[in-house]
Chains A and B, each alone.
Chain A
Amino acid sequence: MILNEEQQMLADLAERIFADKASVDTLRAIRGGSHGNDYDQDLWQAMVESGLTGILVPEDQGGMEFGLVSAGLVAREVGRRLALTPFLSTAVLGAIAIGRGGNDDQKSRWLGPIASGELIVALALDESAKHRPERVATQATAAGDGYTVTGQKTLVLDAANAGVFIVSAMLDGTPRLFAVEIGAGTVDVEPVVSLDTRSMADVRFDAAQAELLDGDDNTLDAVLDAGRAMLAMELVGLSRAVFERTLTYLSERKQFGQRIGSFQALQHRAAHLSVEIEISEAMAFQALAAFDSGADDASQQILAAKARAAETARLASAEGVQMHGGMGMTDEFDIGFFMKRARAASELFGDANFCTERFARAKGY
């Protein structure tokens, strides 16, 4: 697919904002901070001002009401700049979970604050080390007009700053999504210091007051699709960035009296990697466009995009470290940060093995 004019403008806008605000230096500063569970507030503010936080929020709630392709253009910048931002948790997953699953009251309470940057939303799905969205032990129980949820969640992004949690819990034998507002008093957030300096936590809900998001039956599927799609684009952006740095290094570093980029052993590996990146990016864009157009095989395409992007990012960051030699192993060089984020982003919402297996299943073999 080729970007239309509106998308191209958005891509340029996102690139400008991230180039201006997001840098690995910020990541280093936040890593050195007190709780390691922060995000880049300046960047978030800039995203609010340019409307990017409301990119998927309907216009009548103060958003831009764009599609996943547009959101993906932002996610690609998140990956390129290793930005610490609640964009995925809030602007994408929160907006889709509430936008699709919420009733009018819920939408009007939360979508506006998402667009205006006042509300951070955290999605609490996983309960074990590996992503298994249908294995849910957390239970929902009817209580008065609403429900309560009880259970233990892990890998909850941006939980420390969240005002609303979107929680998967079993109701009458099927997993459904609920919203839990902070202040319900029975939500215990235990921050986890993660290798990629992202805000992450284990969260325990103990009979927390919850509202059912009962708008659209397929909300959970849409949330999973969107999460995988955004991570695929983030990983594509990350791969591009780490590859650009590696190419620069190959063109500058001299050994044996020559620039190491002139060695065929490295050239062919770099060339192969460049092809992998092109293909993964084309797949990701096509999958996002399939989601936006409601194509029947959109979920399959997104699984393919996530699987490929994860493998590509693994290769790009591994080659990046290897080709930087000893310098690639140092904390002083930025390359390692890309490898760390590639590892984490690949794991979230299903790693390459998970996505590949689900792809085969969806294809009927």
Chain B
Amino acid sequence: MGDLEAFRAEVRSWLEDNCPEEMRQPLASDQDHVWGGRQWEFSSDGQRVWFERMVEKGWTAPAWPIEYGGGGMTPAEHDVFKSEMKRINARSPVSNFGFWMLGPALLKFGSEEQKREHLPAIARGEIRWCQGYSEPNAGSDLASLKTSAEIDGDYFVVNGRKIWTSYADRADKMFCLVRTDPDAKKQAGISFILLDMESQGVSTRPIQLISGESPFCETFFDDVRVPRANLVGELNQGWTIAKYLLTHERDNIGGEPPGLLKGRDLAKMALEAIGADEAGRLDDPMLRADIARLEIDAMAFRALVEHTRAKAEAGEGVGARSAMLKYYGTELNKRRYNLMMDAMGGQGLEWEGERTSGGRYAREWLRSKGNSIEGGTSEIMLGIISSAVLELPKG
């Protein structure tokens, strides 16, 4: 038995012993997602037990180094771990922007002190992070952001306004792009700082979406004082980190669809909702064809994701090609939700009520429309592909 197989056996048996049965069910609603943080309250004992055991085991951030609170797994071990989690449908014990975004940024750009201060706190689920990037006038054109951070002794004084800050009203801290040199051209005057949401002068206002939910906020900064030690990387070099994270974010896309379609077979849902003809085929030939086309495209897309991962592991940079994955993956997800709504028919029209856990079909379908907007719109992705991959002439 190879080392990896021994590792797999160890992971499997530990998960079998420690993952509560109820944590092996698909998420029924957003409440089932453990975000962590100072204000977090578990909605069930199972959730709490699973969280505590994984934190103690050090497996909440499996691939981070052990000295920063991670699991210290090699990429190959991490793959084994993920496949074993998936095998029993285990839910993530805790996750938020600290795991997805800030952690990778600090590992690459943070000082030793910053790593020791922030990474273990993320891994233990103590601090919930949010992301402060977009502004009302800086969406697709992110580098035109205006929120200012002026240096005053050992502090930055931050003024301005961010939008689409996810769960800013419930987050403990924010990583944030601010303008530290108003005279420099666009990208050149931006810095990447960390701030506490409890600081004087920070206020948030939730934004209600077409899904009826409010995962995003506007965040206002009014003379907020942030220690200069909270600058990540060099002053005015924040765009490098932002770009790295945007690429990293795009890389993360292409896994399983989130929400109620996670681990569920669209064709099966359609068969249950619509029924089959006497030959056993979905009794809606046009929808059947659409689902088959979608499934083929999804299978092919996964093949490209796998191929890209394998190349990255072999040391070949992914770079702008991540825009390809972001573009196609999000468009695919929107198609998937459209077909889910076609399959669910009248049930999909419910907005409230227990039968649909509070209108989840309709709400998640509507939420999916944002996939091709957030993290860079599809049109921005196509622009990146045109210039950086295809090298077409500039307009």
| Residues of A in contact with B (beta carbons under 8 Å apart) | 1-2, 247, 250-251, 258-259, 261-264, 267-268, 270-272, 274-275, 278-280, 282-283, 285-286, 301, 303-305, 307-308, 353, 356-357, 359-361, 363-365
Contact = CB atoms under 8 A, between A and B. Distances in A.
B390 A274 contact: yes
Contact of A285 (B267, B292, B301, B307): B307
A2 B392 contact: no
B300 A279 contact: yes
A304 B299 CA distance: 8
Given A282-B307, A285-B303, A364-B280, A271 B296 contact: no
Contacts of B393: 250-251, 258-259, 261-262
A352 B170 CA distance: 49
A128 to B, nearest CB: 21
B291 interface: yes
A271 B386 contact: yes
Nearest 3 Cβ contacts at the A-B interface: A283-B300, A271-B385, A267-B386
Contacts of A280: 300
Given A261-B393, A275-B327, A283-B300, A1 B307 contact: yes
Contact of B292 (A1, A247, A274, A356): A356
Nearest to B281: A365
Contacts of A360: 267, 281-282, 288-289, 291-292, 295
Given A2-B311, A282-B306, A365 B271 contact: yes
Contacts of B243: none
Given A267-B386, A268-B382, A279 B289 contact: no
Q: Which of A274, A305, A365 has the most chain B CB atoms closer than 10 A to its own CB? A: A365
Nearest to B332: A279
Contacts of B306: 1, 282, 286
Q: Which of A268, A279, A280, A304 has the most chain B CB atoms closer than 10 A to its own CB? A: A279
Nearest to A252: B393
A49 to B, nearest CB: 32
Given A275-B385, A357-B289, A264 B303 contact: no
Nearest to A251: B393
Contacts of B292: 356-357, 359-360, 363, 365
Contacts of B57: none
B17 to A, nearest CB: 31
B277 to A, nearest CB: 11
Contact of B392 (A247, A286, A301): A247
A279 B297 contact: yes
B318 to A, nearest CB: 12
B300 A274 contact: no
Interface of B: 267-268, 270-271, 276, 280-282, 288-289, 291-293, 295-297, 299-301, 303-304, 306-307, 310-311, 314, 321, 324, 327-328, 379, 381-383, 385-386, 389-390, 392-395
B389 to A, nearest CB: 7
7 contacts: A2-B314, A279-B297, A279-B300, A282-B304, A305-B300, A360-B288, A365-B280
Contacts of B303: 279, 282-283, 285-286
Nearest to A2: B310
Contact of B295 (A259, A272, A279, A363): A363
B300 A271 contact: no
A307 B291 contact: no
B297 A308 contact: yes
Q: Which of A251, A264, A267 has the most chain B CB atoms closer than 10 A to its own CB? A: A267
Contacts of A1: 306-307, 310
Given A2-B314, A259-B393, A267-B382, A275 B307 contact: no
Nearest to B327: A275
Contacts of B270: 365
A258 B394 CA distance: 10
B288 A264 contact: no
Given A274-B389, A308-B297, A359-B296, 10 more contacts: A1-B307, A259-B393, A271-B327, A283-B303, A304-B300, A307-B296, A356-B289, A356-B293, A357-B289, A359-B295
Nearest to A308: B300
Given A262-B392, A308-B296, A274 B267 contact: no
Contacts of A247: 390, 392
Nearest to A280: B300
A2 B382 contact: no
Nearest to A301: B299
A11 to B, nearest CB: 15
Nearest to B394: A262
Contacts of B381: 271
A259 B281 CA distance: 51
Contacts of A304: 295-296, 299-300
Contacts of A259: 393
Contact of A268 (B281, B288, B386): B386
Contacts of A264: 383, 395
Contacts of B383: 264, 267-268, 271
A82 B386 CA distance: 27
Contacts of A250: 392-393
Q: Which of B291, B300, B306, B307 has the most chain A CB atoms closer than 10 A to its own CB? A: B300
A264 B394 CA distance: 9
Contacts of B288: 360, 365
Nearest to B271: A365
B317 to A, nearest CB: 15
A361 B324 contact: no
A1 B314 CA distance: 11
Contacts of B267: 360, 363-365
A268 B377 CA distance: 13
Nearest to B280: A364
A153 B127 CA distance: 71
Given A2-B311, A275-B385, A278-B324, A270 B300 contact: no
B191 to A, nearest CB: 31
B356 to A, nearest CB: 23
Contacts of A2: 307, 310-311, 314
A30 B382 CA distance: 40
B386 A279 contact: no
A233 B14 CA distance: 44
Contacts of B394: 262
A357 B379 CA distance: 32
A274 B381 CA distance: 12
B340 to A, nearest CB: 14
Contacts of A278: 304, 321, 324
B102 to A, nearest CB: 29
Contact of B296 (A275, A285, A286, A356): A356
A142 B217 CA distance: 79
B319 to A, nearest CB: 14
